[in-house]
Structure 1
Amino acid sequence: MQTQDSSLPIIWTVSVTRLSSLLRDVTPEFDGRAQIDTINLGFEEAVTLIRERLRTEDCDVLLSAGANGEYLRNRIDKPLVLIQPDGFDLMQALARARRHSNRIGVVVYGTDLPAFTAFKQQFGLQIELRSYTNTEEARDLVAELIALGCGAIVGTGFISELAERLGVVGILMYSADSIRKSFQQAIDLARMLSAARSGPRRALAAKPADSKFSLRRLIGNSESTTVLRDQIRLYGASDRTVLVTGETGTGKELVAQALHGASARRSSPFVAVNCGAIAESLLESELFGYEEGAFTGSRRGGRVGLIEAANGGTLFLDEIGEMPLALQTRLLRVLEEREVLRVGSVRPTPVDVRVIAATHVELDARVADGRFRRDLYYRLNVLRIALAPLRERVDDIPLLLMNFLRAAGAGAMVLDGPAHALLQRHGWPGNLRELRNLAERLAVLAHAESPLSAITRPLLLRCAPELFGGAQTIAEPAGSLSNDTARLQAHALSSRVVRPDAASLQRALAAVGGSREKLADQLGVSRTTLWRWLRERSLG
């Protein structure tokens, strides 16, 4: 039997149905980086097995998805990473579903997709969107969609299998890329927790290279980026608490790292904690540590908490707005008294940490409705950095995109004028994270279609259709795309089999002054394909 490396993170994936198969396909890519064990069970069966195994085995992080993941999060005291599909995953799933049915159902867990309604209206697609919070509700929704005539249903593994049982096509909305990203998040979280538990000395020895904390990583020449770098130089010289605010994906942790690198603490530990990624029941012991015998199952000798692990350095509290009220009181004591009280201890331990907190929610609003302590809010909000969303710093997009492309392994590429204009008009709801995602897609195409040296508007249509419509896109200039052209783009995106009707083709051709080349570019199809459509519709 092969001996496993005990220094590797231990990750248990918990899934049912089709997601299990996708996880098995991706798991071998992480051999040598983590010990990954697959549990092909869901809900209460999974909880029972995990609790039983944890009596004799250890696990650093759980990895799951959808309702099954949320069920585990509330019942297992282990950090859990949820697999999250992105917009490109959904587009690919819809394209597959369209091959089977013109009427499609989409069932997501938890919340609706606000931008999805606008996207559906923009392209005139017959898609019914539903969301569920438990398995019984999911069964009712799938039955309802089938009754409405949906011949294909897109959703989680549970939803897609449920659809198949009821006689329609079920399409899994996750992709291999989503699985890879989730594995990487789980590995990063496990390593961070492991380093912190080993105490401040190991955390110091294992700190990343100084380049991780360099201001040079804040790329861009826009006014807001220039002001941001100046703020970081100024605040880095201070030891006061900083609150970083901004939308999701604006780079709050990058700013926190740069503040650490600009401070006198740069050679000491930088410990990052996502307050929303660790179960509430586990967060207290992870942050503050515990004494031996503090609770059933506690480790012999106790454990150093993340706050103590950051002693002498910087503690970054991401998503501080998600911290439970009870722990907010304890954190306030750390900030005011500069000491930490481990769980089960009566003797406080002095700590010297600089705290940087970040949030994408309005903390003052949470203070007003009683979900965040007012005294802690004022204690955190000493120095404040408000990050501009990407749509307000569009001049930075070319530099950022080229940097992300290099990081993704793509060669030198140029951005032509129409593509540049399109990127500047897009609303970028995912901010830097969305732009990096686009760069990774372009890098894949660059390798597959080498040589690929130019980023053009048709290329963007192929790999990022969300740039061409939806509530988060700034309106294009009048006359740039007719309604018929936009509708035809939907045909090109959602089905390569269903062709536009003659009337739509005629109007779209007239809108571009009869230029077949221009219409082909706008539709994202070859001129040969367009010529064939025109000929078959007797318009050529």
Structure 2
Amino acid sequence: MAASKSSKRLRSADEVSRDPVLWAVSVSRLSTLIGDVVPEFGDRARIEMINLGFEDAVRQVRRRAGEECDVLISAGSNGAYLKHRVDKPVVLIRASGFDLMQALSRARSLSDRIGVVTHETDMPPFAEFRRMFELPIEQRAFVTAEDARNRVAELVNRGVKAIVGTGLVVELAEQAGVSGLLLYSADSIRTAFETALDIAGLVRGIDSRERPAPRRAPRRGGGPKPAADGFLGHSEVAVQVREAVAIYADTDATVLIEGDTGTGKELVAQALHQASGRAANAFVAVNCGAVAESLLEAELFGYEEGAFTGSRRGGRIGLIESAHHGTLFLDEVGEMPLPLQTRLLRVLEEREVLRVGSSRPVPVDVRVIAATHRPIEAMVEEGGFRRDLYYRLNVLRIALPGLARRRQDVAMLAEHFLQAGAQQAGEVMPELDASALALLQAHDWPGNVRELRNLMERLAVITRASGQLMIDAGLLQRHAPELTARPAPARLTRGSARRPDRTQLQQALQRSADDRAHLAAQFGISRTTLWRWLREAGLQ
């Protein structure tokens, strides 16, 4: 990285005009850290800081739609908010396990009462790591800015004096009178910038030596398509999934992706988009189970000014309109409330959106991909999902196998995740010996590929701290006892329409020491579904 600072050669106007244009969007304490890293990339890109957040940032990006920008860089809840609302690629700054260890070390020097508050997409393995080593650290996750405020207030009320988290969390902690420590490091930001430069090169059609290359027109059929390379594996079922993606990318027909939690449904949806003629346009993802029912309608369909109390002046377009000419990915569509299913059906049949509070439909051109971990056919029979919508979604179908059905892919996937973690940290990749691989391949993987990825990240952190370069069965059993533990008898079956009542949920929370990731695994549901259950029960 430092070499980029010392490059003093004056570049021609043509070279400068080919530089990628990156916008770094942050309104929190993270802005200062990003600003420290920006000069290191000054001779490789034109970088602008946008010190705005959430709706203000979205409005600014849309207002400047005619200006040159290849990729946005952001983090946490602000980055997740942008990703679903702008038509440019968004690279998220992600904290590594080493970042977390450093932040916790600094927090420990300030107080014995420590809390960690992260956005729901950050640091998923930490809950299991904390539980396994019985670390006296309070952990919380948030989705919205208001959630973050509530989580911080909750920890302060419990006597926590130092809180590690995102930039937003750090500011909220300091406003509450306790110490706030930023989760991210300069290395995490550098990694995000490198990723953004790679994406910008693809967007601009420039190779790594900055030679101009012809831009490819969006494909509308004909010619080979890139397969879902991210769906790794040599097993027959993995090959079948990649073949289905290559075939279905040729059409705009609706696709229904079914599979248990952690099997890679969004990965396959993104592969379908990237291999299609819509790849140059937006991929808009919305998790139907992560947004409160009262907000989901406005999020999806948008609203007119004055449509309801608190609506923004001038109204707002919804996520469906944001996907115009692109792809709309409806994750966990089985969680969508029945009234909104009716409105979604109209979008699919009429290809138009009616905003909340409006009588004028807006035409939209979107390709819809839906995904669910629940048995939609059974829900239809029980009246929990509209039959006509099911038939409209189930035009093309991809069933993703659980990892237990593709055990021969476990070794490849494990080594891939270890290598990715090592590259991010700039370390040598630890190896898995034959005894460790045998243990991994014998496990049933109820959390599927996500569980394997999280375990490999945990092992990467442990081996990096200890200096070990070989992972054997003994080390694996010490740090991953779940591989040989018996399955919990209370686990709910996939797709069960019944949920625990409020008392049962509260008792389960207490038994798990408020470990949301572990509790979701016990119930056999996603963390977003658990979040919705808790919110509706008044426990969130």
1:7-59 per-residue CA deviation (whole Å, 9 max, x = no partner) reads 84552412322x2233224445665776543244668xx93x98679767867
1:298-338 per-residue CA deviation (whole Å, 9 max, x = no partner) reads 9xxxxx986646xxxxx57363739999997787567556x
- Match for residue 475 of structure 1? 484
Q: 1:157: how far off?
A: 2.6
Q: 2:217 aligns with which of 193, 204, 218?
A: 204
1:261-281 per-residue CA deviation (whole Å, 9 max, x = no partner) reads 9xxxx7855566233299987
- Match for residue 243 of structure 1? 256
Compared CA separation, residues 280 and 226, structure 1 to 2 (3 A): same
Task: State how far apart, in whole Å, the 2-side matches of 1:330 and 1:436 are.
Answer: 37
AA at the equivalent of 2:117: V
Q: 1:317 aligns with which of 326, 329, 335?
A: 329
Superposed CA RMSD in Å reads 6.4
1:78-119 per-residue CA deviation (whole Å, 9 max, x = no partner) reads 877765546665455335534555442223457999976654
Task: State how far apart, in whole Å, the 2-side matches of 1:267 and 1:276 are.
Answer: 20
Compared CA separation, residues 458 and 33, structure 1 to 2 (3 A): farther
Q: Which has the larger radius of gyration?
A: 1
Q: 1:66: how far off?
A: 4.8
* Structure-1-length-normalised TM-score: 0.54
Q: 1:420 aligns with which of 434, 437, 455?
A: 437
* Contact 2:285–2:328, Cα closer than 8 Å, also in 1: no
SS at match of 1:204: coil
SS at match of 2:484: coil
SS at match of 2:217: helix
* Contact 1:253–1:318, Cα closer than 8 Å, also in 2: no
Compared CA separation, residues 117 and 377, structure 1 to 2 (3 A): same
SS at match of 1:213: coil
Task: State how far apart, in whole Å, the 2-side matches of 1:217 and 1:73 are.
Answer: 20
Task: State how far apart, in whole Å, the 1-side matches of 2:475 and 2:370 are.
Answer: 33
Task: State how far apart, in whole Å, the 2-side matches of 1:72 and 1:259 are.
Answer: 22
Compared CA separation, residues 274 and 245, structure 1 to 2 (3 A): farther
Compared CA separation, residues 137 and 98, structure 1 to 2 (3 A): same
Query: Which ranges in structure 2 are unaligned for 5 or more consecutive residues?
Result: 1-9, 206-213, 289-295, 303-312, 487-540
* Contact 2:115–2:139, Cα closer than 8 Å, also in 1: yes
Compared CA separation, residues 308 and 221, structure 1 to 2 (3 A): closer
Task: State how far apart, in whole Å, the 1-side matches of 2:121 and 2:252 are.
Answer: 40
Compared CA separation, residues 188 and 164, structure 1 to 2 (3 A): same
- Match for residue 509 of structure 2? none
- Match for residue 471 of structure 2? 456
Task: State how far apart, in whole Å, the 2-side matches of 1:183 and 1:211 are.
Answer: 31
Task: State how far apart, in whole Å, the 2-side matches of 1:260 and 1:66 are.
Answer: 24
Compared CA separation, residues 307 and 156, structure 1 to 2 (3 A): closer
- Match for residue 135 of structure 2? 125
Q: 1:227: how far off?
A: 5.5
- Match for residue 449 of structure 2? 431
Compared CA separation, residues 67 and 346, structure 1 to 2 (3 A): closer
Compared CA separation, residues 107 and 281, structure 1 to 2 (3 A): same
AA at the equivalent of 1:140: A
Structure 1 window deviating more from structure 2 (159-168 vs 387-396): it is 159-168
Compared CA separation, residues 154 and 429, structure 1 to 2 (3 A): farther
Compared CA separation, residues 330 and 257, structure 1 to 2 (3 A): same
SS at match of 1:276: strand
SS at match of 1:220: coil
Task: State how far apart, in whole Å, the 1-side matches of 2:162 and 2:43 are.
Answer: 39
* Contact 2:96–2:123, Cα closer than 8 Å, also in 1: no
* Contact 2:249–2:276, Cα closer than 8 Å, also in 1: no
- Match for residue 408 of structure 2? 395
Compared CA separation, residues 128 and 33, structure 1 to 2 (3 A): same
Written as runs of structure 1 = structure 2, the 5 A alignment for 1:124-273 is 124-130=134-140, 133=146, 137=150, 140-145=153-158, 148=159, 150=160, 152-160=162-170, 163=173, 169-176=179-186, 178-179=188-189, 204=217, 213-214=226-227, 218-222=231-235, 224-225=237-238, 228=241, 241-247=254-260, 250-252=263-265, 255=268, 268=277, 270=279, 273=283
Compared CA separation, residues 55 and 381, structure 1 to 2 (3 A): closer
- Match for residue 305 of structure 2? none
Task: State how far apart, in whole Å, the 2-side matches of 1:143 and 1:192 are.
Answer: 45
1:425-471 per-residue CA deviation (whole Å, 9 max, x = no partner) reads 4948472696399489969x99xx9xx9x64249987xxx9x9248x
Q: 1:144: how far off?
A: 2.5
The percentage of counterpart residues that share the same residue type is: 39
* Contact 1:142–1:162, Cα closer than 8 Å, also in 2: no
Q: 1:416: how far off?
A: 0.9
AA at the equivalent of 1:38: M
* Structure-2-length-normalised TM-score: 0.54
* Contact 2:404–2:445, Cα closer than 8 Å, also in 1: yes
Task: State how far apart, in whole Å, the 2-side matches of 1:377 and 1:184 are.
Answer: 41
AA at the equivalent of 2:410: I
Compared CA separation, residues 28 and 394, structure 1 to 2 (3 A): farther
1:382 aligns with 2:395: yes
SS at match of 2:483: coil
1:93 aligns with 2:103: yes
* Contact 2:149–2:172, Cα closer than 8 Å, also in 1: no
- Match for residue 11 of structure 1? 23
SS at match of 1:153: strand
Q: 1:212: how far off?
A: 6.4
Q: 1:396: how far off?
A: 0.9
Task: State how far apart, in whole Å, the 2-side matches of 1:431 and 1:35 are.
Answer: 37
* Contact 2:262–2:451, Cα closer than 8 Å, also in 1: yes
SS at match of 2:157: helix
1:234-254 per-residue CA deviation (whole Å, 9 max, x = no partner) reads 878998643112356534355
AA at the equivalent of 1:474: L
